[in-house]
Every structure is written in structure tokens, then in C-alpha cells.
């Protein structure tokens, strides 16, 4: 696309040439550097001192370009700008600071400018390694509008409709796909007798008339025989009514397809009986694990997801008229030193499911099985062996290949890619939280971060997996393409560079129809409104009373609440830096008004930093102790160690609602934020970070509030204002509570999710065959990077010595 900025910027600069020359002189005066929007604005403010003049310039076309600028790479005499004028749409230009001439440049050249700041030799190396996944985008199947991003399923249904829209023979790929459908070698839907589109078409007409002669609820077995003679197999429906509808759908698709019929036909196909879900790091269990390091929402999400998927699969299989038991395996890591959890057991049935299990496979090194927990940042050297071991076990337990493999987070997604490539199975990925955008400039400054976080491995694995995947599930739009002002997590992988390692000139395209938004829910049998008195888990009341109000200071709680009459503001999270629980404590400590109005309760971590093996957790614990001392919070604040019982936690949210309190989610960045929807489900007004998913979940001022984690004073004021307003307007608290509940009902339930995901499995299973050339080329490219690059990086990571884990306080 032609650069719109290169077109408009010269005129814009010309209009205020005098000031701009001075601004640019200032930009380059400090030599090479990377400037963010805030730096550019500061420099402009310093240069153009006259406020009226400055406002005039910034409100004009130049201001518009500047405000869309994400960053600028200064390499005198040039300043190269990366301008994002809409989600997913980027322009790159370089401006000569002396002459103010403007030239459009490619993403590749822009990245080179950036590299000049951090590693000049690499930038100038003509043979520096470039990654270009875009080179394999043979088809033009790309969305064009920012507003359509994340709607891949719908788009693919439209493309397929247009492909089958002409002659009947166009439907040959669909016929081939149907012919290949089977369950353990037994044909489904049709057999070889119907091996031509016109044969199928004619047979459908006869069969539909035949089936229509039976009452709708006639079971399939009563007319199965005749259909089989004509070449039809099981799978069309459990009774005459359903079979007829499915046949009609296919006839209409062959005659003149439309996207709605297409999606509904694929949703009926018997394609998915066995699903493998990888979630490797952390402690994956059903009790006593939440809040342990690296163990949070992903575990909750997957267990709820599995139950919803199983229910949906059982319903579909029944409606297909089949007698098949679905199988879902959640494949995770077996941790011998399991800290009192079940993570050292190989198999565990998933509670409230009938056909789903957790399968645990240990990490194997040359010295044997690794006993201790490993941080998600250090996990890479084990994954290849893990994939091999998992593959053998899965094939054995499922008695064959799965129909769908879903990965979770970087480690699970990489292993899912390795396995899906090897077995030729449809693959979906879920990031939960891509790490790259959480740390500013983590790509270009990767060398600074690498010893601690191993981003070289992580970003490479992410890139490989997102390209290998047939479809990508996200929880929100912002995860893919961000917001007006902030790039999305996937978008940040479009073009980036890690000088000395590789330059990704085309990493991922957010307009790729593989992206789909399917938001999770919260299990409503646990998270229901505080007003539903008869359902409440009253058995937990004494324990919660103890947790919140007992004066004792022990291993489970410190601090106390002297004034029980005050409402409580509550937060709960893993003790990662990014969760910013210490930030919230500091805001509270500093804001006298807020301290007068409410008490603070924090749930997370434990109290002895020396007992944490997780770097960030230990630092956060220390900081919390310091803040409690500094602001003398004892008496107004209660810090409770991580809580692992979901039902008790749900009652805790409701108890906070009883105090007419609020939930606060202050994260510096939150990919989605399950606690936000848990709190909202319980009817608790919620203040959540404007950085990431919660900004999309909550409509500010209607279903809760947004807060800016980088502006603590403003955020704590907003919370205090809310409680003041509640004092004068007795209905206000209920209004926000009701707004939150309404929002949840409309958008965040597991039923909607499971239906969408199974539809994706079915349609993308066909789509990958439809685009087999591109798929194979990408797979080869994947191998080319995996073998010499990723493997080498992963094998450089240290393997820890065997050593006993320190006892956890919560054990």
C-alpha cells in the first residue's frame, strides 16, 4: 500500500517549516536514539514555547501524524517514523532533519534504522538473517478492514462460498473432504459410491425426497439401509428431520453457496471426536494450584473450556446420529516435586466431565527426569523431548491421531505445532498473554533481557507457532490489533527486529483470516451474583470471616481491618510484577481520602520472599512489606496469601460485594483478565486496567471503570470519587453492579465459546486442505527456522541441578 504519510507529511512540515526545522534539530541533537511519542511531544513542547502556536501546529495535519506515531528512530541526519494510522495499518517514512524532505521506506528499512541505534554492524550486514513469513502468503485471502480483524471464521465462509459459486465441479474439494471423513477407519457421511459432484448432487435429491417421507423424529436406523445403498453413511443426523436439513444444506451449497449455509453445514460435520490441549508450564491441577508461580487464569480457562467443549461435542455427536465417545486430553507437565498438588500423577480425570483427562508427562534431560518446577521463561530446552514423549503417549491413549490439537501459551503452542506438523492434524493456538508487549522494547533490547527472560527463545517460538497454526483464538480484539492508540499483542509481531539474531520483516499479518475472537466466560455455578442468597456457599462464611477480619497475624494473613463498617476494595492475582498489586497498595497508601472511605484487601503470593523460587514473585513480596511499613497500612489493609479454592474465592468476591465494595485490577498490562469477569459475575463493581483486555470487557462508567495503572493518583482518585458518590447516591453502586452483570450475559459465556471453537476446528480443517500448497511451504519454512535457530537457542539455556524445593508457606 502506498504510504499515506509520505504523501501528506511534506506539506504538513512545510506549513510550519520554521518550527519544524528547530524541532528536528532538537530530535537529532542527542544523536542516535529511539524516541516514543511521549519523548517527541516533550521535545516539541520545549522547542515551541508559545502555547497557542504549538496548539495550532499540533491540531493540524502534522499533529495528526505525530499523534499516530508509535516511535521514531533517530539516526542523524535522519529521523525515521513508524506511524500507525489505524489498527493494523502502518506507514514508515524517513525525514531528513536538515532539508525536511520526506521519503517512504519499507518496514525492513525502518527496522534497519532501529538496528543502527543498537547494533550498527548487524544493521549494515547485508547477509543478516531476515524472517519473512509473508513470502508464503500465496493467496489474496486477507481481510481489508480493521473492523473485521478477528472475524476469520465468517470471512472464510464467505471466501469458500465464492469458490464454490460457479459450476458444480467447483465443489470437488468439498466432496474429497467428505469422502475422507471417517471415525477409526469407518466412513462417515458418504462413501466411494458418491465419488463425483454430480453423482452426489443427484443422490442428495433422491435421498431428501425419501427421508422426507418419514416423520421428522424417525430414528436414523429405521431408514439407514436404503441410504447406504445410495452411498450415504452415518453422520447426517440422528433422525429424519435432522438428516433432511443437513442434506438440504449441502444441496444448496453445491447449487449456490452462501456463507451462512456454509458455516452451518460445517458445524454439523462429524469431524471432531478427539482433542488434545497442551498447557505445559506451571502447576496444572484441579485443586491447590491457583496462585502458585506461573499458575493462574490459563488453568482456570482450560478446565472450564474442556467442560464446555465436551458438552458441546456430546450434543453434536448425538445430533449426528453417532455412537462415539469423545476424548479430550489436557497434556501438561508432570512435576515430581509437586508441592502437595496432584501434579506428580500421570493421569487425572477432569471433574464434572465424563470423557476428559489430564495427562502429565515429565521433562526429561540427559540426567533423567527433572524434579522441580521450572519457570515458564526457562522452559525451552525440554520441549523437543517433551513433544516426542507426548506424541507416543497420546497416540496410545487415543488409539490413533487426534482430530484437533490446541496449544496454550508459548510452550504449549510450540509443542502443538511440532505435533500437528508431524501428524498432519488441524492446529489451533491460544496465547493467553504474549510476553513481548509487556516489556518495552523487549525485541530490540533482547540482549539485555535474555539472561533473565530468554525472549530470544520465546519470541521465536511464538512466531513459529502463530505461523504454523491453522487458526488462532484470542479473547479480545485488542489482543490481535490493539486499540486506536496502542498496537495489539499479535500486531507487535508484524515487523520487529532482534539485532544479532534476526530481523522479522514479516512476522504475522493481523489481517490473516486465521484470527478469531472467542472470549472465555467464568463458571457460573461458582461465580454468580451476591444477591442470589439461596445459592450462596454459606459453609465458607466462617473461613472467610477469619480470613478478612480475625486479628491474628499468621502464615495466611497479615494486617487487619480495624473499622469493619467500611466497604472493601479487593484485588487478587499471582504475584507477578505486571499484576501491580504493590502499585495498588501504594496508591491506597498515598490517598488519604480513599483510606478514609474504604479498607484494602489483597489476595496473592505468600509472605516470606526467601521461600520463592520465582524472581518476580520474591521482589513483589519484599516490596509489599516495605509499602505496608512505609504507609503504616496495618489496621486498614489485609494481605491474604494466595487462595486456591475457587468456590471459596467466589464467595469471597460476594462477601466483598456485601460490604458494598469493589474489585480493583491494577495490572500494568493484562492480556484478558479472568478475575475481572469473575468479579463482575458476582455483582462486584470493578475498576480494571485500561492496558489490555479489561479495557474491552468493561464499558467505562457503564459496566465498571477503567483505571490507568501508570497514573496512580488519577486512578485512586477515580476509585475514591466512586465511593463518595455512592455515599450521596444510594442507587449508584447498584447501577454499576447491574451494568457489569448485563455485560457478562451479553458477551462472556462458555457456551458461545465452545460452539465457535468447534466450528473453527471443522472449517479450518477443510481450509488447510484447500490451501495445501501454502500450508506445506510454511511448514518447510518452519522447519528451516526450528532446526538451526530455535533448537540452538533453546539448548543454550542452563538446565538446573537437582535440588529439593524449599517448603512453600501455603503448603
Residues that bind ligand LCN (CB under 6 A): 297-298, 301, 432-433, 475, 670-674, 693
Closest to ligand UDP by CB, 353 vs 681, is 681
- Segment near ligand UDP (CB under 6 A), from 144-152, 464-472, 582-590, 642-650? 642-650
Closest approach, Cβ 723 to ligand UDP, in A, equals: 23
- Segment near ligand UDP (CB under 6 A), from 133-141, 547-555, 640-648, 694-702? 640-648
Closest approach, Cβ 240 to ligand LCN, in A, equals: 42
CB 276 within 8 A of CB 404: yes
Residue nearest to ligand UDP (CB): 296
Closest approach, Cβ 355 to ligand UDP, in A, equals: 24
Closest approach, Cβ 655 to ligand UDP, in A, equals: 14
Identify any residues that bridge with 224 across adjacent strands, giving them in sequence order. Answer: none
Closest approach, Cβ 338 to ligand UDP, in A, equals: 18
Closest approach, Cβ 235 to ligand UDP, in A, equals: 38
Closest approach, Cβ 255 to ligand UDP, in A, equals: 46
Partner that binds at residue 408, options ligand LCN, ligand UDP, none, CB closer than 5 to 8 Å by kind: none
Which of 88, 235, 673, 765 is the binder for ligand UDP (CB under 6 A)? 673
Q: Is 682 in the site for ligand UDP (CB under 6 A)?
A: no
| Cell matching residue 319 | 445430533
Closest to ligand UDP by CB, 297 vs 583, is 297
Q: Before 77, cis peptide (omega within 30)? A: yes
Closest approach, Cβ 29 to ligand LCN, in A, equals: 41
Closest to ligand UDP by CB, 187 vs 298, is 298
**Three-state SS for 704?**
strand
- Residue 459's contacts (CB-CB under 8 Å, 6 or more residues apart) are 435, 436, 442, 443, 446, 493, 496, 498
- The string over 259-271, giving b where at least 16 C-beta atoms fall within 10 Å of a residue's C-beta and e elsewhere, is bebbbebbbbbbb
Q: How far apart are CA 663 and CA 657, in angstroms?
A: 9
Q: How far apart are CA 345 and CA 357, in angstroms?
A: 12
Q: How far apart are CA 108 and CA 116, in angstroms?
A: 13
Q: How far apart are CA 28 and CA 117, in angstroms?
A: 12
Closest to ligand UDP by CB, 403 vs 678, is 678
Closest to ligand UDP by CB, 316 vs 436, is 436
Place of cell 497514573: 711
Which of 75, 269, 519, 572 is the binder for ligand UDP (CB under 6 A)? 572
Q: Is 431 in the site for ligand UDP (CB under 6 A)?
A: no
Interface with ligand UDP: number of residues (CB under 6 A): 20
Residue nearest to ligand LCN (CB): 297
The site map against ligand UDP for 286-325 (x = CB under 6 A) is ----xx----xxx-x-------------------------
**Three-state SS for 721?**
helix
Closest approach, Cβ 770 to ligand UDP, in A, equals: 35
Partner that binds at residue 475, options ligand LCN, ligand UDP, none, CB closer than 5 to 8 Å by kind: ligand LCN
Closest approach, Cβ 595 to ligand UDP, in A, equals: 24
The site map against ligand UDP for 598-617 (x = CB under 6 A) is -----xx-------------
| Cell matching residue 411 | 510452550
Which of 607, 672, 722, 770 is the binder for ligand UDP (CB under 6 A)? 672
Closest approach, Cβ 406 to ligand LCN, in A, equals: 13
- The per-residue DSSP string of 316-334 comes to HHHHTT-----EEEEEEEE
- Segment near ligand UDP (CB under 6 A), from 60-68, 460-468, 531-539, 638-646? 638-646
Closest approach, Cβ 702 to ligand UDP, in A, equals: 21
Which of 157, 261, 659, 675 is the binder for ligand UDP (CB under 6 A)? 675
Closest approach, Cβ 572 to ligand LCN, in A, equals: 13
Closest approach, Cβ 579 to ligand UDP, in A, equals: 7
How many other C-beta atoms can be found within 10 angstroms of the C-beta atom of residue 349?
A: 12
Partner that binds at residue 88, options ligand LCN, ligand UDP, none, CB closer than 5 to 8 Å by kind: none
CA distances from 732 to 97, 580, 685, 702, 725 (A): 54, 28, 10, 11, 7
Identify the CA nearest to 545 among candidates 447, 422, 466, 658: 658
Q: How far apart are CA 560 and CA 643, in angstroms?
A: 17
Phi, psi of 349 (to 5 degrees): -65, 145
Which of 475, 678, 707, 760 is the binder for ligand UDP (CB under 6 A)? 678
DSSP label at 277?
E
**Three-state SS for 141?**
coil
3-state SS string for 435-489: CHHHCCCCCCCHHHHHHHHCHHHHHHHHHHHHHHCCEEEECCHHHHHCCCCCCCC
Which of 274, 649, 655, 703 is the binder for ligand UDP (CB under 6 A)? 649
- Segment near ligand UDP (CB under 6 A), from 215-223, 264-272, 319-327, 670-678? 670-678
Partner that binds at residue 187, options ligand UDP, ligand LCN, none, CB closer than 5 to 8 Å by kind: none
Closest to ligand UDP by CB, 409 vs 511, is 409
Partner that binds at residue 642, options ligand UDP, ligand LCN, none, CB closer than 5 to 8 Å by kind: ligand UDP
Closest to ligand UDP by CB, 454 vs 574, is 574
What interhelical angle do 383-398 and 409-423 show, nearest 10? 60
How many other C-beta atoms can be found within 10 angstroms of the C-beta atom of residue 138?
A: 11
- Residue 6's contacts (CB-CB under 8 Å, 6 or more residues apart) are 91, 93, 102, 103, 104
- Segment near ligand UDP (CB under 6 A), from 56-64, 349-357, 534-542, 639-647? 639-647
Region 41-100 residues binding ligand UDP, contact defined as CB under 6 A: none
| Cell matching residue 353 | 466431565
Closest approach, Cβ 395 to ligand UDP, in A, equals: 31
| Cell matching residue 747 | 458477551
Q: How far apart are CA 517 and CA 508, in angstroms?
A: 16
Q: Is 642 in the site for ligand UDP (CB under 6 A)?
A: yes
- Residue 277's contacts (CB-CB under 8 Å, 6 or more residues apart) are 302, 305, 306, 328, 329, 330, 331, 405, 406, 407, 408, 412
Partner that binds at residue 404, options ligand LCN, ligand UDP, none, CB closer than 5 to 8 Å by kind: none
- Segment near ligand UDP (CB under 6 A), from 51-59, 508-516, 571-579, 737-745? 571-579
- Residue 536's contacts (CB-CB under 8 Å, 6 or more residues apart) are 530, 651, 654
**Three-state SS for 80?**
strand
Q: Is 677 in the site for ligand UDP (CB under 6 A)?
A: no
CA distances from 368 to 280, 343, 363, 417 (A): 18, 18, 8, 25
Partner that binds at residue 290, options ligand UDP, ligand LCN, none, CB closer than 5 to 8 Å by kind: ligand UDP
- The site for ligand UDP (CB under 6 A) is made up of 290-291, 296-298, 300, 572-574, 603-604, 642-644, 649, 672-675, 678
Amino acid at each position: 500500500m502506498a504510504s499515506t504519510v509520505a504523501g501528506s507529511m511534506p506539506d504538513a512540515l512545510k506549513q510550519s517549516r520554521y518550527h519544524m526545522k528547530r524541532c528536528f534539530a532538537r530530535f537529532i541533537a542527542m544523536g542516535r536514539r529511539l524516541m516514543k511519542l511521549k519523548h517527541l511531544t516533550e521535545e516539541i513542547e520545549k522547542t515551541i514555547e508559545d502555547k497557542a502556536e504549538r496548539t495550532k501546529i499540533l491540531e493540524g495535519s502534522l499533529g495528526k501524524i505525530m499523534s499516530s506515531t508509535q516511535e521514531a528512530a533517530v539516526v542523524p541526519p535522519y529521523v525515521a517514523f513508524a506511524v500507525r494510522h489505524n489498527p493494523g495499518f502502518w506507514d514508515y517514512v524517513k525525514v531528513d532533519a536538515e532539508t525536511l524532505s520526506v521519503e517512504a521506506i519499507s518496514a525492513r528499512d525502518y527496522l534497519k534504522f532501529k538496528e543502527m541505534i543498537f547494533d550498527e554492524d548487524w544493521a549494515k550486514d547485508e547477509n543478516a538473517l531476515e524472517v519473512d513469513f509473508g513470502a508464503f502468503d500465496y493467496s489474496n485471502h486477507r481481510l481489508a478492514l480493521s473492523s473485521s480483524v478477528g472475524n476469520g471464521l465468517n470471512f472464510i465462509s464467505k471466501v469458500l462460498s465464492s469458490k464454490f459459486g460457479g459450476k458444480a465441479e467447483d465443489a470437488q474439494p468439498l466432496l474429497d473432504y467428505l469422502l475422507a471423513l471417517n471415525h477409526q477407519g469407518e466412513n462417515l457421511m458418504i462413501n466411494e459410491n458418491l465419488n463425483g459432484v454430480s453423482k452426489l448432487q443427484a443422490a442428495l435429491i433422491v435421498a431428501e425426497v425419501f427421508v422426507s417421507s418419514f416423520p421428522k423424529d424417525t430414528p436414523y436406523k429405521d431408514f439407514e439401509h436404503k441410504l447406504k445403498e445410495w452411498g450415504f453413511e452415518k453422520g447426517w443426523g440422528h433422525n429424519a428431520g435432522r438428516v433432511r436439513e443437513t442434506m438440504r444444506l449441502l444441496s444448496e451449497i453445491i447449487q449456490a453457496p452462501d456463507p451462512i449455509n456454509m458455516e452451518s453445514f460445517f458445524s454439523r460435520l462429524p469431524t471432531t471426536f478427539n482433542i488434545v490441549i497442551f498447557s505445559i508450564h506451571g502447576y496444572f491441577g484441579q485443586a491447590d494450584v491457583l496462585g502458585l508461580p506461573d499458575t493462574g487464569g490459563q488453568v482456570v480457562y482450560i478446565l472450564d473450556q474442556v467442560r464446555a467443549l465436551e458438552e458441546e461435542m456430546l450434543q453434536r455427536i448425538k445430533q449426528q446420529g453417532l455412537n462415539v465417545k469423545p476424548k479430550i486430553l489436557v497434556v501438561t507437565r508432570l512435576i515430581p516435586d509437586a508441592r502437595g498438588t496432584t501434579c506428580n500423577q500421570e493421569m487425572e480425570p477432569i471433574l464434572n466431565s465424563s470423557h476428559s483427562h489430564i495427562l502429565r508427562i515429565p521433562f526429561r534431560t540427559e540426567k533423567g527426569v527433572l524434579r522441580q518446577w521450572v519457570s515458564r521463561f526457562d522452559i525451552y530446552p525440554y520441549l523437543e523431548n517433551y513433544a516426542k514423549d507426548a506424541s507416543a503417549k497420546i497416540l496410545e491413549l487415543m488409539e490413533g491421531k487426534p482430530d484437533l490439537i490446541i496449544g496454550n501459551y508459548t510452550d504449549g503452542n510450540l509443542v502443538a505445532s511440532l505435533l500437528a506438523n508431524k501428524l498432519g492434524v488441524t492446529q489451533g493456538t491460544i496465547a493467553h498473554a504474549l510476553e513481548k508487549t509487556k516489556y518495552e522494547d523487549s525485541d530490540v533490547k533482547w540482549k539485555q533481557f535474555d539472561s533473565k527472560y530468554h525472549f530470544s527463545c520465546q519470541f521465536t517460538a511464538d512466531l513459529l507457532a502463530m505461523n504454523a497454526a491453522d487458526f488462532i483464538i484470542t479473547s479480545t480484539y485488542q489482543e490481535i490489533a490493539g486499540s486506536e492508540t496502542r498496537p495489539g499483542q499479535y500486531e507487535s509481531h508484524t515487523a520487529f527486529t532482534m539485532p544479532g539474531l534476526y530481523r522479522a520483516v514479516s512476522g504475522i499479518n493481523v489481517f490473516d483470516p486465521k484470527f478469531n475472537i472467542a472470549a472465555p466466560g467464568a463458571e457460573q455455578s461458582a461465580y454468580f451474583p451476591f444477591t442470589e442468597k439461596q445459592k450462596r456457599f454459606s459453609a465458607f462464611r466462617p473461613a472467610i470471616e477469619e480470613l478478612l477480619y480475625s486479628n491474628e497475624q499468621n502464615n495466611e494473613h497479615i494486617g487487619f481491618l480495624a473499622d469493619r463498617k467500611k466497604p472493601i476494595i479487593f484485588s487478587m492475582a499471582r504475584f507477578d510484577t505486571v499484576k501491580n498489586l504493590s502499585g495498588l497498595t501504594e496508591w491506597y497508601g498515598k490517598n488519604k481520602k480513599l483510606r478514609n472511605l474504604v479498607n484494602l484487601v489483597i489476595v496473592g503470593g505468600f509472605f516470606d520472599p526467601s521461600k520463592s523460587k520465582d524472581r518476580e514473585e520474591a521482589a513483589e513480596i519484599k516490596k509489599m512489606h516495605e509499602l505496608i511499613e512505609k504507609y503504616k497500612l496495618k489496621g486498614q489493609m489485609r494481605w491474604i496469601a494466595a487462595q486456591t479454592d475457587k468456590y471459596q474465592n467466589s464467595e469471597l468476591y460476594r462477601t466483598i460485594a456485601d460490604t458494598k465494595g469493589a474489585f480493583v485490577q491494577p495490572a500494568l498490562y493484562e492480556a484478558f483478565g479472568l478475575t475481572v469477569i469473575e468479579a463482575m459475575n458476582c455483582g462486584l463493581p470493578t475498576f480494571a486496567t485500561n492496558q489490555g483486555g479489561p479495557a474491552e470487557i468493561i464499558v467505562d462508567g457503564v459496566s465498571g471503570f477503567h483505571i490507568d495503572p501508570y497514573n496512580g493518583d488519577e486512578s485512586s482518585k477515580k476509585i475514591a470519587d466512586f465511593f463518595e458518590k455512592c455515599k450521596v447516591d444510594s442507587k449508584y453502586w447498584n447501577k454499576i453492579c447491574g451494568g457489569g452483570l448485563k455485560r457478562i450475559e451479553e458477551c462472556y459465556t462458555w457456551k458461545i465459546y465452545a460452539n465457535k471453537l468447534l466450528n473453527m476446528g471443522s472449517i479450518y480443517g477443510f481450509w488447510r486442505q484447500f490451501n495445501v500448497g501454502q500450508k506445506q511451504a510454511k511448514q518447510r519454512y518452519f522447519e528451516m527456522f526450528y532446526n538451526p535457530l530455535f533448537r540452538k537457542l533453546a539448548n543454550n539455556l542452563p538446565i538446573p541441578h537437582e535440588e529439593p524445593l524449599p517448603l512453600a508457606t501455603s503448603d
